[in-house]
Amino acid sequence: MGTPLPRDPIGDAQRNWERHGWGDVAAPMAAITAIMRTQQILLARIEGALKPFGLTFARYELLALLSFARSGALPMNKASALLQVHPTSVTNAVDRLEKAGLVVRSPHPTDGRTTLIELTTEGRTIAKRATAVLNTEVFSRSGFADSEVDQLIRILGNFRRQAGDFSG
């Protein structure tokens, strides 16, 4: 995975699709494959930036979410819904963040089924520092032009709405 390939493998795949009679879906296939690959590249950059903090992207996302909650606490099911991941993924992330002392679980005051995730002081500090690094090292140098960012937000926003992510 070091040296650039001489040719774009996704472009090749698209041509193969066309050559085998799937010309009508070759372009969407290529676009979707490109999304998969782009996600992989971006995730690697993000995880690299977070590594010094002992954080993964999944854990960082949870920390960031909590840091924006007024009280610094959220029910696990709410975190699961907002992060759009399976509840067990939140359980997993909270286990590790709790072990690292960045969050604590506490019982919900009125609903015995619910567990609140609460940011610790250190958790809030780490969240702030990690955000700064992520912003300066990854998001500010994404490689996307401003107009491309706008297009991505628009196109993927429509897609996510269609997919049932949100109704707004």
Output the CA torsion sign for 68, 79, 135, 95: positive
Q: For residues 111-150, which are near its own copies according to CB under 8 A?
A: 131, 135-136, 138-140, 142-144, 146, 148-150
| Other CB atoms within 10 A of residue 77 CB | 13
Q: How far apart are the first and last CA of the chain?
A: 40
Tokens of 95: 């286990």
C-alpha span between 167 and 92 (Å, rounded): 28
We find the least distance from the C-beta atom of residue 60 to its own copies, in angstroms, to be 11
Interface residue with its own copies among 56, 75, 82, 120 (CB under 8 A) is 82
We find the least distance from the C-beta atom of residue 16 to its own copies, in angstroms, to be 5
Q: Rule CB under 7 A: is residue 88 a binding residue for DNA?
A: yes
Nearer to its own copies, 24 or 99 (CB): 24
Interface residue with DNA among 16, 38, 39, 77 (CB under 7 A) is 77
Nearer to DNA, 83 or 152 (CB): 83
Burial of 116 (0-12, 13-18, 19+ CB in 10 A): buried
Q: Rule CB under 7 A: is residue 14 a binding residue for DNA?
A: no
Q: Rule CB under 7 A: is residue 44 a binding residue for DNA?
A: yes
